Structure 1
Amino acid sequence: MTEQPSLKPERPFFSSGPTAKHKGWSASNLETKAFGRSHRSAVGKARLKYAIDLTRELLGVPDDYLVGIMPGSDTGALECAMWTMLGARPATVAAWESFGNVWIQDAVKQLKLKDLTVLDADYGEIPDLSSIPQDNDVVFTWNGTTSGARIKNTDWLADDREGITINDATSAIFAQEMDWAKLDATTFSWQKVMGGEAQHGMLILSPKAVARIESYDPEWPLPKLFRLKKGDKVNRAIFEGATINTPSLLATEDYILALEWAKSIGGRQAMFERANANAKIVTDWVESTPWLRNMVSDPQQRTNTGVCFVFQGDYYDSLSPEDQAAVPKTIAAKLDELDVGYDFNGYRDAPPSLRIWCGGTVEQEDLRRLLPWIEWAYAELQK
């Protein structure tokens, strides 16, 4: 018999986006001088530029790359890259979970690319990326947000490849090192690893990506939110704080606060270490729990952010498919009601599962306290 634990997490925030605020976060710590001001005012643009500069510094983005704030979260930034750069040469879109499959649908149904290869794999697996021709443009997701599978490395991308690479890094960045030399358009959103607020995305462009944008005009119309050019050149003001549309300066200040916190604890290396330590706690527990299985079979492909796991064993296997699907939902709902853990049910399109966020804003002790509660909740189901 599993007894109900006595200790609850102090910060029961385990959602994969928006993710937990860092420990000590308080709205009273936000800088307020830009509130109520135009984003085009001197103070508004200065704060947006500061967010861009801090991002560049913390991520180690090369000096000749552009960093800009985009509307529409990671989706807006990633689709902007696809809409403005694809179609110039053959393309491959690789996916192994829900969001990557959205980019496939964009390429097939919306852009209707004429020379397109789709490369996909089931949840928990990664396709053979080495099969992608180096002449092709490629769209891929560095870290599968809804499956917990990440790429091992970028060895499959040649240093001198002709095609451009469009990298959705939203649940990897600030937790995993980016190989900037091989990345031409990298996107992410504030609400993932840094625990910021939603609706703002980041677009990081290499000189090669800038050259593509300036030399190529796609055959489809571009909505205003995707227009990066002014005349025949990239509008560099966008990458200096002059956003395409109105951003939230409140959300901007929240992102800045998270960046300053990350810098204060040691920058991205400290964030990597925190995510690795957090993920090890959850992954080791899954491995030692006979009625659980990591969704990703290859340990080298397991994420250090959104760890996803499914149920197995005699009791679970005896249930109908409908009852199996209800298991993780019931556990997550019960622990939410008890204020033990919020929003850690698996993604709606993924196999029935639980998904615990382990990014750097989460504390190890909170994870240690959560896991016995999952064991207790599962035992309660079997009574």
Structure 2
Amino acid sequence: MKRPGWNLEQLAGALLGRSHRAEAGKDRLKLAIELTRDVLRVPADHRIGIVPASDTGAVEMALWSLLGPRPVDVLAWESFGHGWGADIVDQLGLDTRVITAPYGELPDLTRVDSTDRDVVFTWNGTTSGVRVPNAEWIPLGRNGLTICDATSAAFAQPLDFERLDVVTFSWQKALGGEGAHGMLILSPRAVDRLETYTPRWPLPKLFRLTSNGRINEGIFRGETINTPSMLCVEDYIDALHWAGENDGLIGLVARADANAKVLTDWVDSRDWVTHLAVRPETRSNTSVCLTIVDPEVAAGGDEAAAACARGIVALLETQGVAYDIGSHRDAPPGLRIWCGATVETRDLAVLTDWLDWAFAEVKSQFMDSTKYVELQSQRQPLPLSSQS
């Protein structure tokens, strides 16, 4: 979701046709790093780098470069956490405990080793709508490293950098930037691990953060490993300037909180929908995930709830009201509505009226048993009369 007031003219100064290794290109990349530090309040002793392949590339770079000397705890309560755990176990073959919880819940954080094991987790479960409420469960001064995938939390939730050794995110999530670029933030402890430990597996060039046993400082000055899109860089800079002009991190968090509250207040007054996240204190303020709990629909089982959700998504898309609000393919069927800071609160208030309307339309069709049986066999969106 682009920031309010965004238009293509904002990118008129992009260095198109120029090398990112030219001084002008390096200056723009360096500015993106500096603005990131300012808006996110990253400590001065932490390094910030622009890396390839979005948040996925940043996380994998950290896993392959840093893990190995200690056993690992992985927290997994949604698809991305499970993915990181699978990579660590199946690809790296490390001594790993994957501490899990079902969609909608948070794992027991007291089971995480408080001292010696490395820890890998997502701060905000993008596909479940469940986030950690804070970082107090991570002790200061622990021996192991803490690697945090923060891609849908950065710029919307405060991150405790004193307790996090690696933080990753991508531009397209909370600030609505274009994809393909990731951010990697390293604490001094993470840098020390890079300079004192050599993985036993070969590292592809795109993952190499060191040269001759020392950190490659150029990466953290805007000298990227691969060729970035300077158009995307300019778009990210524009979003960071907008964030700075709107009270920085405090303003961004407040906007996301206000947006999520609109949906929470609406859900609390409805009996057909509820949050996937069980506990209010762990509910995301960005990727809000909802499930259909209407008693008549629920009587049809999981397939009925899934069909109802698909019908709502399809109907609102045909009306030009909302796009891509279906749950993630790996998550329980339902709705997933983005509430990050670039969304206007008033638009979400309008959306709740449309959601009520769409549900009523879908349910009226849903109760036609002939059409429902046909739907179950075809597993297609509900055959809405307004679409014919």
Normalised TM-score (structure 2):
0.92
Q: What is the 5 A alignment of 1:158-197?
A: 158-197=139-178
Equivalent of 2:256 in 259, 263, 275: 275
- Residues 282-329 of structure 1: per-residue CA shift (max 9 Å, x gap): 111112111111101111001111111101132211224333212112
Equivalent of 1:328 in 309, 313, 324: 309
After the TM superposition, which of the residue ranges 203-212 and 308-317 deviates more from structure 2? 308-317
- Residues 305-354 of structure 1: per-residue CA shift (max 9 Å, x gap): 11111011322112243332121122111111111111111111100010
CA distance in 2, matches of 1:319, 1:77: 42
CA distance in 2, matches of 1:145, 1:165: 19
- Equivalent residue letter for 1:347: H
Q: What is the 5 A alignment of 1:30-109?
A: 30-109=11-90
Task: Give SS of 1:180's match.
Answer: coil
Task: Give SS of 1:181's match.
Answer: coil
Q: What is the 5 A alignment of 1:1-383?
A: 20-113=1-94, 115-133=95-113, 134-383=115-364
CA distance in 2, matches of 1:196, 1:44: 18
CA distance in 2, matches of 1:254, 1:355: 25
Query: Structure 2: any 5+ residue segments left out of the alignment?
Result: 365-388
Q: Contact 1:142–1:151 (CA<8 Å) still a contact in 2? A: yes
CA distance in 2, matches of 1:176, 1:151: 10
Q: Aligned-pair distance for 1:160?
A: 1.1
- Residues 38-74 of structure 1: per-residue CA shift (max 9 Å, x gap): 1101111110110000001111111111000010000
CA distance in 2, matches of 1:68, 1:212: 17
Task: Give SS of 2:30's match.
Answer: helix
Q: Contact 1:77–1:201 (CA<8 Å) still a contact in 2? A: yes
- Residues 210-236 of structure 1: per-residue CA shift (max 9 Å, x gap): 000110011111111100001110100
CA distance in 1, matches of 2:123, 2:295: 35
- Residues 263-283 of structure 1: per-residue CA shift (max 9 Å, x gap): 011111000000000000011
CA distance in 1, matches of 2:104, 2:295: 22
CA distance in 2, matches of 1:135, 1:335: 49
- Equivalent residue letter for 2:247: G
CA distance in 2, matches of 1:229, 1:178: 26
CA distance in 1, matches of 2:21, 2:28: 10
Moved beyond 3 Å, runs of 4+ = none
Aligned to 1:16: none
Task: Give SS of 1:321's match.
Answer: helix
CA distance in 2, matches of 1:154, 1:364: 28
Q: Contact 1:200–1:247 (CA<8 Å) still a contact in 2? A: yes
CA distance in 1, matches of 2:99, 2:302: 29
Cα 1:27–1:90 shift into 2, 3 Å: same
Q: Contact 1:283–1:307 (CA<8 Å) still a contact in 2? A: no
Aligned to 2:372: none
- Kindly tell me the number of residue pairs found equivalent between the two proteins: 363
CA distance in 2, matches of 1:63, 1:344: 38
- Equivalent residue letter for 1:308: C
Q: Contact 2:14–2:230 (CA<8 Å) still a contact in 1? A: no
CA distance in 2, matches of 1:318, 1:118: 34
CA distance in 2, matches of 1:74, 1:252: 15
Higher relative contact order, structure no. (Cα contacts within 8 Å, ≥ 6 residues apart): 1
- Equivalent residue letter for 2:326: N
CA distance in 2, matches of 1:312, 1:176: 29
Q: Contact 1:287–1:294 (CA<8 Å) still a contact in 2? A: no
Normalised TM-score (structure 1):
0.93
CA distance in 2, matches of 1:22, 1:29: 11
CA distance in 1, matches of 2:69, 2:293: 47
Query: Structure 1: any 5+ residue segments left out of the alignment?
Result: 1-19
CA distance in 1, matches of 2:303, 2:104: 21
